[in-house]
Structure 1
């Protein structure tokens, strides 16, 4: 589901909406950092030259969106009168649970780290993967597009978690970053309905 028709405009709108959400981190990486473009762009290029980079930015987003959005959401949509709450908020739990195995991996690779630290780390990862799953489900359903969900997923993997605390090197940079971060969150909320309108939508909200 969501493979056809392909609407390039929906892909662009979905990516732009996500970039608005990450406005703060983008400003930090592309302007406020000491070596903006060299650090960020070169890091991505370097990552893509490795198998881990391909897994994180290309293969992972494709396979996970096919599985957790295109297939699982299709199953839930096949029942009569599917609940929007279930589609948006419950189906991403599969996505979050699928990442819990990282706790076991972390314990194997960091045997000296306490059990409780590893558990908290995994719970945090479960939380943000589930939160992303909510957004990815919304994107998939509103655009009716697997491709948009894949592009958004890949971009989020490239960006990582935004900085929510801590200061930058200079006070003015800190003010700029957090101002843009909050403004981006507001713009994202504003565009969450308006920018996701599509003739291919699988759900009608409002």
Structure 2
């Protein structure tokens, strides 16, 4: 499978310029959080406080407008791109519903295990059909930040704006995939400072490990997002995928599924055909758990989803709208 070949003319901008502008975009996004007492976290103001989220949404909106204006100027002035080519490089046009559907199918395959647990084991599929889950998530400022503003602004900055800079510099596709997400990962390191403010008694080592873990999984998502952006030239599917991944969280890699702590167990022998009642000698808490078969099924589906994701990564991201870079040498 091949992408559109890179143009043979000299790079429109130097790689150093692309890197510098990428750092500028990252700073323009993060630094405003610390310029105002309304957005700057403190022991008295959590980043999850509604007033803080509202102020940060305003700051992020302004940052995105500034960065967008700058990238349009760079693409038009230095890249000599027409308005149509600019929208193409930014992933705004053409809009392919099919590409978006295939990308979301690929992400759903990867999260087959968690979807099975949340939808089938925990019975959440009814709420999905009614749309209750979406309504609950978006009814709070935290949900609005995590699943709307965050995905839109982050994919705009770190995919739609930063990747075209590296395309103009004729950076190889592999380097774009594995280097540009590092800006995205680094942008989350400031959460270490915020976490220390709100959790001063947590050992520094644990706080650092937490931050490194966050850097790792944000970078991993960034690798995937950069790959899909280059393959499809579609930023809208990445926004949806980003929101979906935020909603699902990290998959379960250990433990049993279907455990309900603190559920009254009732008289012995009641409703035990499917469930198991367990009593912890350590905590003294009784809880109901689905039969072990559900857990076995979950981990089998989890592994199958990972394998399916690997095998379908290229087929489901094949698109005629790919950006002009080479990912696989002929």
TM category (shorter chain) comes to over 0.9
Kept in 2: contact 1:44–1:158 (CA 8 A): no
Is 2:251 the counterpart of 1:162? yes
Length, aligned pairs only:
204
Confirm whether residue 47 of structure 1 aligns to residue 168 of structure 2.
no
The reply to whether residue 185 of structure 1 matches residue 306 of structure 2 is yes
List per-residue Cα deviations over 1:31-67 (Å, max 9, x = no partner): 012x434677645432210111111001110100010
SS in 1 for 2:318: coil
The whole-number CA distance in structure 1 between the counterparts of 2:108 and 2:326 is 24
**What secondary structure, in the 3-state scheme, does the structure 1 residue paired with 2:313 have?**
helix
Q: Which residue of 182, 197, 204 corresponds with 2:318?
A: 197
Cα drift, residue 111 of structure 1: 1.1
- What is the distance in 2 between the residues matched to 1:43 and 1:136? 25
Distance in 2 separating the partners of 1:39 and 1:174 = 22
8 Å Cα contact 2:113/2:305 also seen in 1? yes
Aligned twin of 1:147: 236
Question: Which whole-Å CA distance do the structure 2 matches of 1:28 and 1:44 have between them?
Answer: 18
Structure 1 residue 164: Cα displacement: 1.1
The answer on 1:88 being equivalent to 2:177 is yes
Paired with 2:251 and 2:134, the residues of 1 have a C-alpha distance of: 16
Aligned equivalents of 1:9 and 1:45: distance in 2?
26
SS, match of residue 317 in structure 2: coil
Aligned to 2:165: 75
Unaligned runs of 5+ in 1: none
Name whichever structure is richer in helix by fraction: 1
Q: What TM-score comes out, normalization by structure 1 length?
A: 0.94
In 2, the alpha carbon distance for the partners of 1:149 and 1:36 equals 24
Say if 2:174 and 2:327, in contact at 8 Å, map to a contact too.
Answer: no
CA distance in 1, matches of 2:143, 2:251: 19
Specify the structure having the higher radius of gyration (Cα).
Answer: 2
For residues 101 and 44 of structure 1, what CA distance do their matches in structure 2 show?
29
User: 2:124 matched to which residue of 1?
Assistant: 36
Instruction: Could you list the structure 1 runs, at least 4 aligned residues long, displaced by more than 6 angstroms after superposition.
Output: 38-41
Distance 1:39 1:103, change over 3 A: farther
> CA 1:38/1:118 → structure 2, altered by over 3 Å: closer, same or farther?
farther
Root-mean-square deviation (CA), in Å?
Answer: 1.5
Give the TM-score normalised by the residue count of structure 2. Answer: 0.60
Find the counterpart in structure 1 of residue 216 from structure 2: 127
